[in-house]
Structure 1
């Protein structure tokens, strides 16, 4: 529970979210949005935790803590993985792509979060939806100094269907040790914990 509380603290202390205007215009996102029903309203923040609000969206706790979305993605060696393979750790699953401007801006702070907290109890699982897979992600990681994050790949975009409703990219999903979805943060955020004054 301590790592879950610390992760929640990182989320709550994160800087205001970036504007979400960037990635909803891609054809794949339009198709996913068309097939999506309107998201349910966010449930109230659990007692004892302050509400985390960004400029456009809030961290929305998921009612009833259902099982995390089930889909297959790949590691850099092409091995098939699922979120269930990481049961026992708290996961911050981030769905992103190199063509998504807010995703690109968010990635260095996710890398810092993994460098600071990643280990046996916690992992940032940043899953690229780029159709080119590793041939697009590896040069992006190299050019942007992304060293702590492992390159996880979903070139078939199976996560788009499994994680509905998905308003666009990036979207982060917090998953507890039992593999249940705690909540979501649609749009980019600064995960470094710096606060911006209003």
Structure 2
């Protein structure tokens, strides 16, 4: 067969294959969560989703709580500290997000890694006008660890601050993003609405 005919047949076959695959690729893309890009990273999906160990952290009263206490709700799990400048910038945005979504099965759990725990966080909230977020602390870095003490193995490894995880209603980690995020944005809300819509 002459070369021009072989080339034409190859091109026709390639176009046919592409047309058959296109709907499949489009369907996969439509099922992915909406894109979210922060100041220094983008939302990364975790596959397969896994339920982390229920390691306790403290609320503002010094009581032990775990992520299991929020099962059935979408959780935005944020690790931060008062000494972290991007974290300080992000906290009012998280506070507004918690206020705006108070009627949804949704919680913002912002866990401070400050060594002084709530003695440091409560005055910080007061100074910065953080009114809706609950106080949560993990001074021993047992839940999230950026520089864990010897012998501590936290279920959430942190390679920078802030780091935020999305946890589905079934308690499984769905994805994470590093760096500050403007949680007031339409992109952020679209991502959270995507997970809220899942059973």
Describe the shift of the 1:140–1:70 C-alpha distance in structure 2 as closer, same or farther (beyond 3 A): same
Pairs within 5 Å for 1:118-129: 118-119=102-103, 121-129=105-113
Give the equivalent residue in structure 2 for 1:145.
129
For 1:187, the equivalent position in structure 2 comes to 179
Residue 106 of structure 1: SS of its match in structure 2? helix
Query: 1:132: which partner in 2?
Result: 116
Structure 2: unaligned runs, 5 residues or longer: 1-27, 146-152, 188-199
**TM-score, normalised with respect to structure 2:** 0.70
Aligned to 1:178: 170
Considering only CA atoms, is the larger Rg found in Structure 1 or Structure 2? 2
Residues 75 and 164 (structure 1), Cα distance of their counterparts in 2 relative to 1, 3 Å cut: closer
Residues paired across the two proteins, number: 152
TM-score scaled by length of structure 1? 0.71
The 1:48–1:66 alpha-carbon spacing in structure 2 relative to 1, beyond 3 Å, is: closer
Task: Indicate the SS of the match to 1:173.
Answer: strand
SS in 2 for 1:65: strand
Write out per-residue CA displacement over residues 61-80 of structure 1, whole angstroms, 9 at most, x where no aligned residue: 00011113532100111111
- Find runs of 4+ consecutive structure 1 residues off by over 4 angstroms: none
Q: Residues 102-134 of structure 1, C-alpha deviation per residue, up to 9 Å, x if partnerless?
A: 000000000000000035600000011111111
Are 2:48 and 1:64 equivalent residues in the alignment?
yes
Q: Higher helix fraction: Structure 1 or Structure 2? A: 2
Aligned-CA RMSD value: 2.0
Which shifted more, 46-55 or 120-129?
46-55
> Which ranges in structure 1 are unaligned for 5 or more consecutive residues?
1-43
Q: How far apart, CA to CA, are the structure 1 residues paired with 2:77 and 2:110?
A: 6
- 1:89-100 map, 5 Å: 89-100=73-84
1:106 alignment partner, one of 84, 90, 100: 90
Deviation at 1:46, TM superposition (A): 6.6
